[in-house]
Amino acid sequence: MFDIRWIREEPDAFDAGLARRGLAPMAQTLIEIDARRRAAQTEAQELQTRRNELSKQIGQAKSKGEDASDAMAEVARSKDAQAEAEEKAKAAGDELDAALAGIPNIPLDEVPDGADEDANVEIRTWGTPASFDFEAKEHDALGDGLGMMDFETAAKMSGARFVLLSGPLARLERALGDFMLDVHTREFGYTEVSPPVMVRDNALFGTGQLPKFAEDLFKTGDGLWLIPTAEVTLTNIVAGHIVEEDYLPRRYTAQTLSFRSEAGASGKDTKGMIRQHQFMKVELVSVTRPEDSAAEHERMTECAETVLQRLELPYRTVVLCTGDMGFSARKTYDIEVWLPGQGRYREISSCSNCGDFQARRMMARYRPKEGKGTRFPHTLNGSGVAVGRALIAVMENYQNADGSITVPDALKPYMGGIEVIEPNA
């Protein structure tokens, strides 16, 4: 959400930012609505000032037993005009808010321009894709061979895009989540959180999923939404609060299920568990002072990369171009893990700096040590990492010729003595 005062002062910069997102200029329209709003508001306020004076006079006159009918008559006459001005101001304000709520964040200068993922820029790679002396299989073939990844049974009760894991493979998913939480809490200072996974409209408005992306979400009969990512709940921890500057930075992590309707993805990744309606994810959220968010963004991305390094999974990190970034982000790094079965890199984490875009929407503020008033902090979120996709990556990278999966060293403490996952007899 943008500050209309900033748009008023820098309309060209605002429109230039929109253009990089492929959007038409809006500054002039917004400024016109805002001008209407302010004119009506000023008028209403002036009438209110007069009314306040008169009410005071009436009170004084009455207490002395004097006649106040002239003042009362004047108040009565101005009532309609004031109500009309107030109504106009509110209508224009609502119109302005609705327009602003649908405008995405503007990319930082260093973000590469581009229409889609083909214009993303690789900034580093880590590890070397292993070469197998047999034909590497995809995770769903491996899972089927193990007898521990069952799409049919899941489909019977839930439909497409669900899976049922069992035995050591189910445990491997649990081990991955535990391992990731341990890394982030013990080594990187994140506070572990166990948040709700159902939220109200206002929480999703705060992080930017609403009002524009309702179709990507699941909604319950009671009007609650299932979170598409724990970014929603972790970021909304600070919603509506004014905190002291010393409180920042805040760093939260949580392992939760995420729910996505995948409305726009029909026909995409229909095979396997790459794209599910429900998946486990460890999420990282940071709330920082504005001047710290760029460094925090790098740090957060390193936290996510550390998970893959410990698991010895080759990956590359890319910076998303303007056309591939999410609604609330001003800059995003994607981490893509190497999948030998698919023979390509696939997204396993996305780390975004949202600037003050979300903080404004959820009225999260802090009180600076120096100077007056309050400021909006910056919010960042990143997967640290997607547990479901990490499971896939481990399976494909640690597969053996006989279809078994070697447990990565980093996960052995979490697997209760299981070192190799063997097919069910």
Partner RNA sequence: GGAGAGGUGGCUGAGUGGUUUAAAGCGGCGGUCUUGAAAACCGUUGAGGGUUUAUAGCCCUCCGGGGGUUCGAAUCCCUCCCUCUCCGCCA
Residues near RNA (CB under 7 A) are: 5, 38, 41-42, 44-46, 48-49, 51-52, 54-56, 58-59, 62, 72, 75-76, 241-242, 365, 367, 371-374
Task: Give yes or no: 260 in active site.
Answer: yes
- Active-site position among 84, 173, 347, 422: 347
Q: Which is nearer to RNA, 13 or 242 (CB)?
A: 242
Structure tokens belonging to residue 121: 């820029």
Structure tokens at 168: 């050591």
Q: Count the Cβ atoms, other than its own, within 10 Å of residue 7.
A: 20
| Least distance from RNA to the Cβ atom of residue 417, Å | 29
Sign of the torsion angle spanned by Cα atoms 298, 291, 360, 10: negative
Task: Quote the least distance from Cβ 282 to RNA, whole Å.
Answer: 23
Nearest partner of 256 among 226, 281, 231, 227, judged by Cα: 281
CB nearer RNA, residue 118 or residue 246: 246
Beta bridge partners of 379: 287
Pick the closer one to RNA by CB: 95 or 150.
95
**Residue environment code for 277-290, b if the CB has 16+ CB neighbours within 10 A, otherwise e:** bbbbbbbbbbbbeb
- Output the CA torsion 157→163→164→167 (10° steps): 170
Rg, Å, the chain Cα set: 27
HSE toward the beta carbon, residue 420, CA cutoff 13 A: 9
How many angstroms separate the Cα of 133 from the Cα of each of 224, 226, 403? 51, 44, 13
Q: Which of 349, 350, 352, 383 is an active site residue?
A: 350
Q: Which one, 182 or 201, has the nearer CB to RNA?
A: 201
Identity of the residue, 233 or 276, whose beta carbon is nearer to RNA in the bound complex: 233
Q: Which is nearer to RNA, 69 or 131 (CB)?
A: 69
Asked if 269 contacts 339 with a C-beta cutoff of 8 angstroms, the reply is no
- Out of 161, 251, 365, 389, which one is annotated catalytic? 389
- The active-site residue out of 275, 360, 367, 375 is 275
350 catalytic? Reply is: yes
286 is catalytic: no
Q: List the alpha helices (DSSP H) in 102-194.
A: 139-146, 151-158, 167-182
The Cα–Cα gap between 194 and 323 comes to 33
SS3 annotation, 221-252: CCCCEECCCCHHHHHHHHCCCEEEHHHCCEEE
| Closest CB 39 distance from RNA, rounded Å | 7
Residue 87 beta carbon to RNA: minimum distance, rounded to whole angstroms:
9
Question: What's the CA angle centered on 261, arms 257 and 264, to 5 degrees?
Answer: 135
Nearest Cα to 357, choosing from 117, 120, 113, 102?
102
Q: Which is nearer to RNA, 22 or 59 (CB)?
A: 59
Residue 330: closest CA among 285, 384, 294 = 294
Give least dist CB 298 to RNA, A.
Answer: 29
Least CB distance to RNA at residue 41 (A): 5
The least CB distance from residue 416 to RNA, in Å, is 24
- Residues serving a catalytic function are 260, 275, 347, 350, 389
